[in-house]
Amino acid sequence: MKSATFTLFLLIVLSSTLCGQAVAGMELKLFGVIQKIESELPDGLSATVTIKETRSDKIIVITVTDTLTLDKLRDRRIVTGDDIRCTYEPVGGRNISRVFKKSAGC
């Protein structure tokens, strides 16, 4: 009886732990066209990019914080109207980009 109760307890703890990690680390993929690019801070440490998703025509706002992508936005290698693919994670009500690339490369 003790082992059955202990096993049930372990299953509950492990399942709740795994479910919590799945929600916290959920990455979503997006293919779309850039509608608008805005720099959030004067020193250029982040930017907000509005994207119209190709499949559903849904508008999604992505926050870009990595320096490589910010340099591409600043140098105009990525501009409004470009097709992009993006992997992002919802964190604190914002969509933070993990991968942000032009579909054709760059």
For residue 52, what pLDDT is reported?
A: 96
For residue 40, what pLDDT is reported?
A: 74
d(CA 8, CA 17): 14
For residue 13, what pLDDT is reported?
A: 55
For residue 20, what pLDDT is reported?
A: 45
Burial class (CB in 10 A: 0-12, 13-18, 19+), 30: buried
- The residue among 35, 26, 105, 31 whose CA lies nearest residue 72 is 105
Q: Which residues of 32-58 are buried (b: 16+ CB within 10 A; e: fewer)?
A: bebeebeeeeeeeebbebbbeeeeeee
| Predicted TM-score of the model (pTM) | 0.71
Low-confidence stretches of the chain (pLDDT beneath 70): 1-25, 105-106
For residue 22, what pLDDT is reported?
A: 44
For residue 78, what pLDDT is reported?
A: 93
For residue 45, what pLDDT is reported?
A: 87
The pair phi, psi for residue 13, each rounded to 5°, is: -65, -45
> Alpha carbon 102 to chain centroid distance?
15
With the CA atoms of 70, 32, 60 and 91 taken in that order, what torsion angle do they form, in degrees rounded to the nearest 10? -60
The pLDDT tens digits of the residues spanning 35-53 come to 999 987 777 789 999 999 9
Set out the domains of the chain in order of their start, with CATH numbers.
28-102 (2.40.50.140)
